[in-house]
């Protein structure tokens, strides 16, 4: 089934926030800090500026509590006078005016006075805690997984018995989501209610944040998602900040106010993937079987806690990888710095630790002289094995299928030496990775969240799917239509997936964590099935609605205190092959071939699934080779699309995607999450391939030409 | 206040307008001047040269003449350019992507003379001559190597416009070459680029012009390399001579796109490859 | 200034600053919001339109320069309900995801297909040509694969 919103999108009829008609709307702009750390002493208005047609708002104008409610309420919507400024480009004041030009000019005429304080930009300095940004130790959150040992001494005793220990420290860089529609939001107050519409992944996150901030009850805040031009995690938490800003401005201006970020502002001020340092030890016995895995991961959380604990949690839970190992110790910490807060991005911590473990496995293969794919096959988790948290894998483990799928198409590795069209010497190499990704929320998250979705037959005789899951391009509307159509036994043309508006749809949970199809789609399927049973006895012409709430699959329990048990309802499994060519004149590596075989449970819409995998794959290849955030004194120094680059058509190889289906018994038609998994593995595959080409290790990304140039002495 | 706007119908009209309004923005394809336009101050006036007939087109007589208003798309598809000015076609193809090539003009690249202007090393390697004009003094010609005098600084007088560039075709025994190294494979800003025009007697270099971009405050000719290779046969020895001569001839910088070390390394490799 | 232009086949007159971007002229004055702004610096191609038969970034064109010229936006690609081959194939192949880059890609792809610029001895060469011609349009959702499929198909149909 082709995408339902496809025609609207190819004809330009789909209306994104900035396309919506809003008579009399004013435009907002944000006054931001130029200082990374300090105290806001005053906000001065240029007396020479004509303020008569401008509204200025500061923290004093926030009607309720001045924080963005999320996990911890540490981040203000606007820095108040007398309070700390924690990062460059933090919002200090707002202006609104009848034109964008006037708003921009007014923003420049607002002059915050900030007394500077020493700033912290590295995780080492943060851990040293000379400057306290958060608590006494600057650690936002720490997690520990222990498997097969009671104490550090026990653990070290196992390591001491190993025939060999592979050890390395791996760095993964911050990454910009670079959705092509910048953040955009509009608010209007009508009859004491605040209506907010905008580009977002999670209407109920915004709803939750706006209630205390605006001092309103649940009914008096109405949040609607407009057609959203990409998210990738970047529109998970940050839209609450924009919502706060437009709501405060709209209240003060007494009219609708819209904020659409410029690209440069969006790159500079909004969240990025957490940069991470991961130390990894892999202890093996004489036969090359894994005895113990030790991981210590430190992420830079930036200036506020935001979603960092959850990102870290996922990173920690994936850190030991999909490999059998009796003894595992994983420690994870996320620390405060004066960078703009890092946050959600597809993969959510897992790509960072996946990079580390798949580099380690590669080094083990080199050490053992074993074929890298055969080694992975030998060590991989299968049905009946237990993960690092002691979760026994009972079903839907596609290990053998994904590895076999890649083996079938791999062919011979590229010829190592060659010459390019300009006579430049070339080196080629191949890299493999095998990896997994937990689908849905971590641990008891889904049960706590208790997401709901409704399927109804309306008075008009049509059918409605009501959920807060947003279509951010991943195809939720189409998938829900297909699921409901099949479960109801009615034609898809009779089904409407209604726009997520908090006053009209139940809270299905956020559109994150590869959970929309698997979890919310599962609710839609169950609700539709039950509705189908009810309809024969229901009076005609009346609305009949069935709402379903999430129930965990039987036997799924997780202990948050000890970090043991079933971390995820199920996992996706993946194997990836990458061939690269390195130009030895320019030190540029290019991906010639990328094969991804991914176990998705069941592809409800194979074209959409393929699109998800390929999009995630290219984001991972970009992260590996060319995407880069240059921070200078806490400021993004390359905050524009000219210098903060992502791959173009010409940078992308033809992507070979193999869908593998090992059904998840509790997902709709057997489907499980697919949104994030393709992001996790390819970066390490690229590093392994470049390493193969040049005969030396690349333990950090991005592997820019500058990095390859600097590695010359190590080539072999 | 909204900008004044003039679209002259002839070069003479354009030159009169330029003389009258030397502070106005001279706009052609806008691929540089319109970047982030909403954040730029509105110019007092716009002198729109886009599609001015006298500035447009490529002609091949004994020299190649490219009107200042010719787009890169027109340059890269012109038969004479493809046949005899390979590096220029190659540079044109690597300026931005289709949308930029359809609007970006030779005059724009030359007028801005950014150190990363992609066509500029080619103009230096071919020792192109620029034709400038003013209402008061008529036309004059100046080699491009003298035209750019510093970071985005040129010899263009306040009342002058760039009319055309003239390039002499290479003789039969000439190797001409070009390589751009950007931040990615398309739609990218150069980290290093180089062009060479190497006249040969057999395999021996009789005269060479070597130019680099993005390694100095302006696109530059590398005289040290040109001298070092003259008299040598193409091959490993010439390549090494070129590499050694380049080493002390440039002082590239670190910026958000790359590093001085990388630029130096790659510039050496490119120059060495030109003479291999 | 008064700017008269032909937009999607229709003659229109608007009063705007010559310094205004064509992008804003189209979106604000002509109320054609299919053309999107992704960066404002000519990098992403989301604002691509055809101007006098060439595909350009409308964020880099001054409105004054459009007086007397012909502009086609994404709204002008289809004939009534009949989609352009490129639009049809983008839907069929899954080449549109979030859709924000799609209007720019549709415009650029329609241009190169209609001009017959997608050549190649074989499928691989045709795909490489598409990648080169569309390199000024950034998409963050698809990994480009399904868009290349769509454009190659459209070129084949149109030939």
pLDDT digits (tens, 9 = 90+) for A205-228: 999 999 999 999 999 999 999 999
Spatial distance between the Cα atoms of C47 and C97, rounded to a whole number of angstroms: 17
B139 assigned to some structural domain: no
Q: Which of A9, A421, A607 to mutate to test the interface with C (most CBs of C within 10 A)?
A: A9
Q: Tell me, what CATH number does B41's domain have?
A: 3.30.43.10
Tell me the CA distances in angstroms from C20 to A98, B3, B5, one per residue in order: 17, 9, 12
CB contacts of C43 in chain B (<8 Å) are: 187
Q: Is A506 helix (H, G, I), strand (E, B) or coil?
A: coil
pLDDT at A315 over 90: yes
Residue A49 half-sphere exposure, CB side, CA atoms within 13 Å? Answer: 19
Q: Are strands A26-32 and A257-260 parallel, antiparallel or unpaired?
A: parallel
CA-based radius of gyration for chain B: 19
pLDDT band at A266; cut points 50, 70, 90 = very high
The size of chain B, in residues, is 276
A649 touches chain B (CB under 8 A): yes
Beta-strand relationship, A327-336 and A139-147:
antiparallel
- Could you give the C-alpha distances from B211 to B195, B223, B226, B241, in angstroms and in order? 5, 9, 9, 16
DSSP label at residue C26:
I
Q: What is the residue-wise DSSP string for A392-432?
A: B--S---HHHHHHHHHHHH-SPPPSEEE-TTS-EEEEEEEE
Same domain, A616 and A473: no
Give me the interface pTM, i.e. the ipTM: 0.99
Contact A229, C36 (CB under 8 A): yes
Interatomic CA distance for residues A661 and A458, integer angstroms:
35
Using a CB-CB cut-off of 8 Å, the residues of chain A touching C96 are 3, 6, 9-10
In angstroms, the CA A20 to CA A187 distance is: 12
Task: Tell the residue number behind the tokens 């080094």, with chain if given.
Answer: A363
Residue B76 CB coordination number (10 Å): 18
Q: How far is A8 from chain C (nearest CA, A)?
A: 9
Q: At A467, which CATH number?
A: 3.30.365.10
Which of the listed residues A225, A259, A293 is the one where a domain comes to its end? A259
CATH of the domain at B198: 3.30.390.50
For B79-103, letters b (16+ CB in 10 Å) and e give eebeebbebbbbbbbbbbbbbbbbb
CA distances (Å), origin A368, targets A132, A288, A692: 45, 7, 15
Q: pLDDT band for position A443 (50/70/90)? A: confident
Q: Are residues A228 and A92 in the same domain?
A: yes
DSSP string for A54-111:
-EEE-GGG-SS-SS--SSSS---SSPPTTSEE-STT-EEEEEEESSHHHHHHHHHTEE
pLDDT at A280 over 90: yes
The pLDDT tens digits along chain C (159 residues) read 999 999 999 999 999 999 999 999 999 999 999 999 999 999 999 999 999 999 999 999 999 999 999 999 999 999 999 999 999 999 999 999 999 999 999 999 999 999 999 988 899 999 999 999 999 999 999 999 999 999 999 999 987
Window C:68-107, CB contacts with A under 8 Å: 73-75, 77-78, 83, 86-87, 90-94, 96-103, 106
Q: Answer whether A645 sits within 8 Å of B269, measured CB to CB.
A: no
Question: Mutate which of A3, A7, A10 to disrupt the C interface (most C C-beta within 10 Å)?
Answer: A10
In a 10 Å sphere around its CB, with 0-12 CB exposed, 13-18 middle and 19+ buried, how is residue C149 labelled? buried
Q: With contacts defined as CB-CB under 8 Å, which chain B residues touch C48?
A: 99
CB contact under 8 A, C94 and A2: yes
d(CA A106, CA A67): 25
Task: Please state the domain count of chain B.
Answer: 2
pLDDT digits (tens, 9 = 90+) for A621-661: 999 999 999 999 999 999 999 999 999 999 999 999 999 99
Residues A579 and A221: their CA atoms lie apart, in Å, by 51
CB nearest to C54's CB, from B34, B35, B102: B102
How far is Cα A450 from Cα C102, in angstroms, rounded to an integer?
Answer: 36
Cβ neighbours of A181 in C, within 8 Å: 36, 38, 98, 100
According to the model, what pLDDT value does residue A21 have?
86
The answer as to whether B13 is a domain residue is: yes
Sheet bearing A26-32, strands edge to edge:
A55-57, A91-97, A26-32, A257-260, A184-190, A193-198, A221-225
- Mean pLDDT for the stretch of residues B4-24: 98
If asked whether residues A437 and A574 sit together in one domain, one would say: yes
C50 Cα to chain B: minimum distance (Å): 9
Q: Are C129 and C141 in contact (CB under 8 A)?
A: no
Cβ within 8 Å of residue B229, ≥6 positions away: B198, B205, B208, B238, B241, B242, B245, B275
Q: Which of C4, C19, C29, C112 to mutate to test the interface with B (most CBs of B within 10 A)?
A: C19
Of A111, A84, A197, A104, residue with least CA distance to A499: A197
Residue B39 to residue A262, Cβ atoms within 8 A: yes
Task: Please count the residue pairs, one from chain A and one from chain C, whose beta carbons lie less than 8 angstroms apart.
Answer: 172
pLDDT at B1: 64
Most B CBs within 10 A among C136, C137, C138, C148, hence the mutation to make, goes to C136
Q: Is A309 found in the same domain as A210?
A: no
Rounded mean pLDDT of B48-57? 97
Among C77, C94, C137, beta carbon nearest to A608: C94
DSSP code, position A278: E
**pLDDT higher than threshold 80 for residue A706:** yes
The answer to whether residue A282 sits within a structural domain is: yes
Q: Which CATH class is domain C2-76?
A: alpha beta
Sheet holding A38-45, edge to edge: A84-85, A38-45, A110-116
Contacts across the A-B interface (CB distance below 8 Å): 73
Instruction: Give the dihedral sign, CA B172/B175/B181/B185.
Output: positive
Please list every residue in chain B whose beta carbon sits closer than 8 Å to the beta carbon of residue A588. Answer: 181
pLDDT tens by residue, A483-539? 999 999 999 999 999 999 999 999 999 999 999 999 999 999 999 999 999 999 999
Q: Is A650 exposed, middle or buried (0-12, 13-18, 19+ CB in 10 A)?
A: buried
* Residue with tokens 């008075």, as numbered in its chain: A459
DSSP A423-442: S-EEEEEEEEEEEEEEESSS
Domain contains B67: no
C117 has a chain B CB within 8 A of its CB: no
For B138, residues 6+ apart whose C-beta sits below 8 A from its C-beta are none
Cα-based torsion angle of the residue sequence A460, A465, A466, A472 in order, rounded to the nearest 10 degrees: -130
Domain membership flag for residue A14: yes
Q: Which domain holds residue B32?
A: 1-49
> Which among B256, B262, B266 is the nearest to A630, CB-wise?
B256
Contacts of B196 (CB under 8 A, 6+ apart): B125, B175, B176, B177, B178, B208, B209, B210, B211, B271, B274, B275
User: Do A284 and A230 belong to one domain?
Assistant: no
Please, which chains are in contact with B (at least 3 CB pairs closer than 8 A)? A, C
Under 8 Å CB-to-CB from A557, ≥6 apart: which residues? Answer: A444, A565, A566
For residue B33, give the chain C residue with the closest CA: C60
Across B76-105, average pLDDT: 98
Average pLDDT of chain A, as a whole number: 97
Task: Decide if B180 contacts B119 (C-beta within 8 A).
Answer: no
CB contact under 8 A, B256 and A637: yes
- B139-159 residue pLDDT tens: 999 999 999 999 999 999 999
Domain containing A65 — which CATH number? 3.90.1170.50
Closest residue in C to A641 (Cα–Cα): C43
Interior angle at CA A542, CA A539 and CA A545, nearest 5: 100
**Token pair 């159509």: residue:** A485
Residue B178 lies in a domain: yes
Q: Given CB atoms, is A649 within the 8 Å cutoff of chain C?
A: yes
Is residue A620 within 8 Å of A701, Cβ to Cβ? no
Q: What is the pLDDT of residue B232?
A: 98
- Looking at residue A444, its pLDDT comes to 83
CATH 1.20.1260.10 fits C85-158, yes or no: no
What integer pLDDT is reported at residue A700 of this predicted model?
98
Phi, psi of A641 (to 5 degrees): -75, -10
Question: Which residues form the domain of A606?
Answer: 276-442+564-714
In the listed set A224, A259, A294, which residue is the last one of a domain according to the structure? A259
Does A94 lie in the same domain as A227? yes
Per-residue H/E/C for A204-238: HHHHHHHHHHHCCCHHHEEEEECECCCCCCCCCCC
C143 touches chain A (CB under 8 A): yes
Q: Rounded CA gap, A267 and A711, in Å?
A: 30
Residue B273 to residue A101, Cβ atoms within 8 A = no
Reply yes or no on whether the pLDDT at A551 is more than 70.
yes
Q: Rounded mean pLDDT of B170-175?
A: 94
Report the C-alpha gap between B225 and B198 in whole angstroms.
12
Residue A468 lies in a domain: yes
For the record, the structure tokens of A600 come out as: 């998705």
Boundaries of every domain in chain C: 2-76, 85-158
Interface contact B112, partner C, CB < 8 A: no
Tally of domains in chain A: 3
Contacts with B270 from chain A: Cβ below 8 Å: 585-586
Q: Residue C132: its pLDDT value, please?
A: 97
Residue A424 lies in a domain: yes
CA triplet A144, A150, A155: central angle to 5 degrees?
80
Read off the pLDDT of residues A460-491 as tens digits, 9 standing for 90 and up: 999 999 999 999 999 999 999 999 999 999 99
∠ at Cα C79 (C77, C84), nearest 5°?
50
Q: Say whether residue A180 is in contact with chain B using an 8 A CB cutoff.
A: no
Q: Could you give the C-alpha distances from B205 to B169, B178, B238, B269, C85, in angstroms and in order? A: 17, 17, 9, 18, 54
Alpha carbons C32 and A19: distance in angstroms, whole number: 9
User: Cβ separation of C34 and A179 shorter than 8 Å?
Assistant: no
């Amino acid at each position: 089934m082709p995408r339902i919103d496809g025609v609207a999108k190819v004809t330009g009829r789909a209306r994104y926030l900035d396309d919506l008609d809003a008579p009399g709307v004013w435009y907002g702009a944000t006054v931001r800090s130029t200082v990374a750390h300090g105290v806001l002493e005053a906000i001065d208005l240029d007396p020479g500026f004509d303020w008569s047609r401008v509204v200025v708002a500061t923290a004093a104008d926030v009607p309720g509590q001045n924080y963005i409610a999320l996990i911890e309420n540490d981040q203000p919507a606007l820095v108040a006078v007398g309070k700390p400024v924690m990062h460059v480009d933090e919002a200090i004041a707002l202006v609104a005016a009848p034109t964008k030009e006037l708003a921009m000019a007014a923003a420049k005429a607002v002059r915050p006075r900030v007394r500077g304080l020493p700033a912290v930009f590295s995780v080492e300095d943060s851990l040293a805690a000379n400057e306290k940004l958060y608590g006494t130790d600057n650690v936002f959150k720490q997690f520990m997984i222990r498997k097969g040992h009671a104490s550090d001494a026990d653990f070290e005793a196992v390591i001491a018995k190993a025939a060999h220990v592979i050890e390395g420290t791996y760095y993964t860089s911050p990454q910009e989501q670079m959705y092509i529609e910048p953040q955009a939001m509009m608010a209007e107050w009508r009859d004491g209610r605040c209506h907010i519409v905008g580009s977002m992944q999670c209407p109920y996150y915004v709803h939750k944040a706006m209630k205390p901030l605006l001092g309103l009850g649940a009914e008096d805040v109405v949040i609607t998602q407009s057609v959203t031009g990409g998210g990738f995690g970047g529109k998970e938490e940050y839209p609450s900040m924009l919502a706060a800003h437009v709501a405060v401005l709209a209240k003060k201006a007494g009219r609708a106010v819209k904020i659409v970020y410029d690209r440069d502002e969006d790159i500079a001020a909004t969240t990025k993937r957490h940069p991470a340092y991961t130390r990894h030890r892999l202890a093996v016995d004489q036969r090359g079987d894994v005895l113990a895995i030790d991981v210590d991961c430190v992420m830079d959380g930036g200036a506020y806690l935001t979603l960092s604990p959850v990102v870290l949690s996922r990173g920690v839970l994936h850190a030991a990888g999909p490999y059998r190992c009796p003894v595992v110790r994983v420690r994870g910490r996320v620390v405060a710095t004066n960078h703009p807060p890092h946050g959600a991005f597809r993969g959510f911590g897992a790509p960072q630790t996946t990079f580390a473990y798949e580099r380690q496995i590669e080094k083990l293969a080199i050490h053992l002289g074993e074929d890298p794919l055969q080694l992975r096959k030998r060590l991989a988790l299968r049905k009946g094995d237990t993960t690092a948290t002691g979760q026994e894998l009972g079903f839907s483990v596609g290990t053998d299928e994904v590895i076999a799928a890649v083996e079938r198409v791999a062919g011979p590795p590229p010829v190592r030496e060659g010459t390019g069209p300009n006579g430049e010497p070339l080196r080629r190499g191949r890299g493999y990775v095998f990896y997994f990704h937990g689908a849905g929320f971590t641990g008891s998250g889904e049960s706590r969240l208790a997401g709901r979705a409704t399927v109804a037959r309306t008075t008009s005789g049509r059918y409605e799917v009501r959920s807060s899951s947003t279509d951010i391009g991943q195809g939720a509307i189409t998938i829900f239509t297909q699921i409901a159509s099949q479960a109801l036994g009615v034609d898809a043309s009779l089904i409407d997936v209604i726009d997520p508006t908090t006053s009209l749809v139940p809270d299905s949970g956020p559109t994150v964590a590869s959970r929309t199809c698997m979890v919310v789609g599962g609710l839609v399927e169950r609700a539709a099935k039950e509705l189908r049973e009810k309809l024969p006895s229901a009076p005609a012409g009346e609305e009949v609605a069935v709402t379903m709430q999430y129930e965990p699959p039987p036997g799924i329990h997780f202990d948050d205190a000890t970090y043991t048990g079933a971390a995820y309802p199920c996992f996706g499994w993946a194997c990836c092959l990458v061939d690269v060519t390195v130009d030895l004149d320019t030190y540029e590596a290019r991906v010639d071939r990328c094969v991804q075989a991914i176990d998705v449970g069941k592809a409800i819409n194979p074209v959409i699934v393929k699109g998800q995998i390929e999009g995630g794959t290219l984001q991972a290849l970009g992260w590996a080779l060319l995407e880069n955030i240059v921070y200078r004194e806490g400021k993004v120094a390359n905050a524009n699309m000219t210098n903060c680059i992502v791959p173009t058509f010409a940078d992308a190889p033809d992507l070979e995607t193999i869908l593998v289906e090992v059904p998840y018994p509790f997902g709709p038609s057997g489907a499980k999450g697919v949104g994030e998994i393709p992001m996790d593995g390819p970066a390490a595959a690229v590093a392994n391939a470049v390493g193969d080409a040049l005969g030396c290790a690349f333990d950090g990304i991005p592997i820019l030409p500058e990095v390859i140039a600097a590695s010359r002495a190590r080539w072999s | 206040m909204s900008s004044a706007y003039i679209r002259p119908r002839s070069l003479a009209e354009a030159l009169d307008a330029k003389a009258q309004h030397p502070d106005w923005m001279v706009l052609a394809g806008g691929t540089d001047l319109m970047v982030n336009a909403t954040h730029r101050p509105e110019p007092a006036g716009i002198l729109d040269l886009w599609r001015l007939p006298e500035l447009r087109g490529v002609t091949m007589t004994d020299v190649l003449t490219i009107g200042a208003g010719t787009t890169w798309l027109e340059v890269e598809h012109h038969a004479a350019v493809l046949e005899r000015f390979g590096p220029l076609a190659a540079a044109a193809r690597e300026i931005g992507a289709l949308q930029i090539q359809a609007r970006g003009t030779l005059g724009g690249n030359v007028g801005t003379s950014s150190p990363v202007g992609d066509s500029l090393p080619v103009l230096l390697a071919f020792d192109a001559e620029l034709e400038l004009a003013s209402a008061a003094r008529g036309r004059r010609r100046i080699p491009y190597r003298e035209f750019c005098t510093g970071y985005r600084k040129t010899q263009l007088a306040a009342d002058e416009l760039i009319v055309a560039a003239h390039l002499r075709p290479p003789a039969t025994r000439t190797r001409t070459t070009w390589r751009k190294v950007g931040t990615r494979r398309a739609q990218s800003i150069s980290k290093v680029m180089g062009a060479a025009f190497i006249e040969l007697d057999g395999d021996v270099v009789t005269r060479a012009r070597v130019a680099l971009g993005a390694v100095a405050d302006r696109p530059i000719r590398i005289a040290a390399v040109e001298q070092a290779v003259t008299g040598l046969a193409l091959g490993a020895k010439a390549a090494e001579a070129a590499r050694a001569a380049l080493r002390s001839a440039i002082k590239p910088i670190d910026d958000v796109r790359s590093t001085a070390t990388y630029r130096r390394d790659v510039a050496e490799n490119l120059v060495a490859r030109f003479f291999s | 200034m008064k700017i008269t232009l032909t937009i999607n086949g229709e003659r229109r007159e608007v009063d705007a600053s010559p310094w205004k971007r064509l992008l804003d002229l189209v979106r604000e004055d002509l109320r054609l919001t299919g053309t999107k702004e992704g960066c404002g610096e000519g990098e992403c191609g989301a604002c691509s339109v055809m101007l006098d038969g060439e595909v350009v970034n409308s964020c880099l064109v001054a409105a004054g320069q459009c007086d007397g010229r012909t502009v086609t936006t994404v709204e002008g690609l289809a004939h009534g309900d009949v989609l352009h081959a490129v639009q049809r194939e983008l839907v069929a192949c899954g080449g549109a995801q979030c859709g924000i880059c799609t209007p720019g890609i549709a415009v650029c792809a329609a241009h190169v297909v209609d001009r017959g610029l997608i050549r190649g001895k074989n499928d691989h060469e045709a795909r490489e040509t598409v990648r080169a011609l569309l390199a000024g349009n950034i998409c963050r959702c698809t990994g480009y694969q399904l868009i290349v499929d769509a454009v190659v198909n459209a070129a084949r149909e149109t030939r």
